[in-house]
Chain A
Amino acid sequence: MSLPQWCPPHSNLKINPMTGEDVYCICKKPDYGELMVGCDGCDDWFHFSCLHIPGQFKDLVFSFFCPYCQAGITGKNKDAIMNGEMNLPKTLWKRKCRLSDCYKPCLQDSKYCSEEHGKEFVDDIWARLKTDEDKVKVKKMVEQTEHVDKFKKFGQADFINNDIVIKNDQEKEIFDQIVARDSTLKILENDLRELQEKTLPLFKKKFELLEVYLSWLDNVYTEIRKLDDDIAANMEGDKTSTKGTNKKKKNNSRSRPRRNICGYYSTYEQAPCAVEEFVAEIGKDEESTTIRGVCTKWKCNRHSDWVSTNQEQYLQQIDSLESMQERLQHLIQARKKQLNIQYYEQLLRKGL
């Protein structure tokens, strides 16, 4: 914050060199008993009039900072402020009494400086009510509740969000007209129903099916691994019989990486066949790359990453559908509230 226009630049002067008197404020004049306020930052004193603060505010000062402290020129925490560790100080005021010409601070948990002024304020409002009808109405409203605490909560009840209870035919007619036949509400409710009953379960189902298929594929993988181990063991057996030439072979079988088949299957709604059956078919036909629609390539560029792509796809859809559901619920609630207000207003208008 910079200095206000009317404020002269800061000066360190404390004593007038000519007269030897102590000087204060932005005006650098001695104390002649005028109304002054002490700064909480630099401990100097300032005239109300020099700072353009009305004298009535004298009881309302909570914590005062002079223009220099507010601009960060002086003050206890000047260095911290310069380094950006602290914010510039600001003068704080107490809340003023609600009566317009009273400049006393409010009491705790009150809008008035004293009980008398509270009464005066309400009396004033009462006096301004023009007709007797209004007075009756206000009286009725006040008498609704037997205790002031209840009165304070008056109107905060969330009955407006609740469903309307219909007592007679006339009310039903109005209800039908305003709430039941509202097209916006109907559309929203339909959307929500479709989302909850159709779209969302569909994607959840798809995701589950994929999981089921993946566990089937996992079984296939373990079976294949078993087969591989068997073959390796057999080879081991062969090798012991023909020592000498098998050293190279042995290395080969060990270093052979354990790769799995790609396993991509376009319609994984159900497993293509039993695991054993499937494993038995692997390797029978060297040429083909699919068995019953399942891709059996050992290293498949084409379908690489298919599992996580699909999973992410479904998860993203489910995620966005769920947030859409939440949004719809909010919208329905807001619309219902609107309509309920319309309904009760209509009731009042008809005097029911």
Chain B
Amino acid sequence: MSRIGVFVCHCGENISRTVDVERVARAAEKISGVAYACDYKYMCSDPGQNLLKKAVSEHNLDGIVVAACSPRMHEKTFRKAADAAGLNPYLVEMANIREHCSWVHEDKEEATAKATEIVTMLVERVKMNRKLQPITVPVTKRALIIGGGIAGIQAALDIADCGHQVVLVERDPSIGGHMAQLSETFPTLDCSQCIMTPKMVDAANHPNITLHTYSEVENVEGYIGNFQVTIRKKARSVDMDKCTGCGVCMAKCPQKKIPNAFDKNLGMRSAIYVPFPQAVPNTPVIDRENCTWFKSGKCGVCQKVCGPGAVDFTQEDQLIVESIGAIVVATGFELYSINEKPKGSAIKGYGEFGHGKIPDVIDGMTFERLASASGPTGGKIVRPSDGKEPKQIVFVQCVGSRAREKGISYCSKICCMYTAKHTMLYHHKVHDGQAYVFFMDARTPGKGYDEFWRRSIEEEQAVYIRGAVSRLYEKGDKIVVMGSDISLGIQVEIEADMVVLATAVQPRTGAELLAQKLGISYDGYNFYSEAHAKLRPVECATAGVYLAGACQGPKDIPDTVSQASAAAAKVMTLFSKDKLEREPIVAKVREAGCVACFYCKKVCPYGAVEEKEIRDRQGNLIKVVAYVNPGVCGGCGTCQATCPSKSVELDGYTDEQIIAQIEAL
């Protein structure tokens, strides 16, 4: 006969408002196998936990049901309490009478009856729970950072400074990301390059950091502490060990008219190139699509002029495998191309703004390149169409963002601030110019942010017009901006020389493909999902994978750096132990029933199922069966649902337990 204790929580009023908790406790007492039942206002509080601990010894309990909130919330809390009282923690189960009952019902009578039934079901389940011991797995103290922007660099430096090995993978030929493209940064107007490039150099020179630029993550296998990551090092066509970065190849390359994506296609580059002069590493790559040698087999000038003989046309993509213990994803964002309607997406595009058709309608990042001292114009703000200085400039906020009808409902968070910055940069460079900003409302909650925005209006003469823009069209060499001013209730028309659109921040194209490789979840926009919006904001639900920066959602630089350091701290916490304890709720194969169809192996999202040979004493093969590696198993139960002969079961969720629960109803 079991001796189960049932502890019913009021959750303040969260549960007791709709569920008669006392009656639930009294009813629980009468369930066969229940030795003790009580209710308390906050079971998770210190006195509540003590109540549980005391009851374990006083009533000699061999199982516990806590009727309270979701197991996601407090299962760990009560398992720890039971452990402290000397009861195996896996004999504790949560009966969720909050999310599953009190929060979703109104009728007290019915809710109380349902809560009692939920408790009854869990009592039946706990009766069949087994004592489990935590599983320990070794930890490889080596971190992988995906993305070499400010988030990736910060996380890499923090982890490397702590003495651990870091592998930093960047898709582009240089690290630096978006921050390297910016001119100045808000709210201090210090030069972005001046604060970014030293960090890039630090990352490249750090003895604990292995840098893989022009590389991508090809495949990820394994689990927390023990990932095997395959990295594709794309063919650079330049030997990194030989190249001295002298730049002669770029100077002599006859293909010089290739739009440079780093400069938002405003500047030109050669076919053998570094994206910007301060690139790290300062080793060029050959853009094989535009290189004459690769197109026609002629030319080869770069190879001829290269003193150390670093140019190698025969280089091929290289696959390397790294053993990794933790992964930080820092793949960042890209700006919404508003003239495009991405295939299969709810996003509708803004054809009426003429972006992509009218040359002087640009996005925020293009403006950054124009304003940047290292940009294609050397920091002169001019129109891309004719090179003239714009005397009237219009900034449009919330293009794409906060526009449910256009497919994006979120706020891109950084645009209010960077537009305020743009008006200042413009005012500093074009003294006789006038900047207008169409905005919904200014969102400036950050240290020094509101002061910065006010400064753009009060000291830098930006005119803010509260209202939306309906259309942009060309009239002569001007762009007519048709909008509304809702403060005055009138229609406004401004003849502008240039229009800058604050287009929405979106995840990288293909973000979902990387997520699928990593086995992490993502939202409807393809931003990566954190494990808990408030309490676990940098961890993924997949153990051992952490998030930093705008790949999780729009973020400014201070937030990105904070999150990167937070992710680094999580990685260092993991690396502080030699062995890692894992939940022992894992699947086990009943070998007698297994017929080796390996459907379990096919559906396992963790890659935990292996093939195992059963041999007799003479070594003759009896049969092949599935084997679940407990160190890898995530305890999702997909194999259990798939197995046609019901030969694999999750501890704590066996078929017997589930059926006992159903039959208790």
A and B bind: no
Q: Which B residues have a C-beta under 8 Å from some C-beta of A? A: none
Q: Which A residues have a C-beta under 8 Å from some C-beta of B? A: none
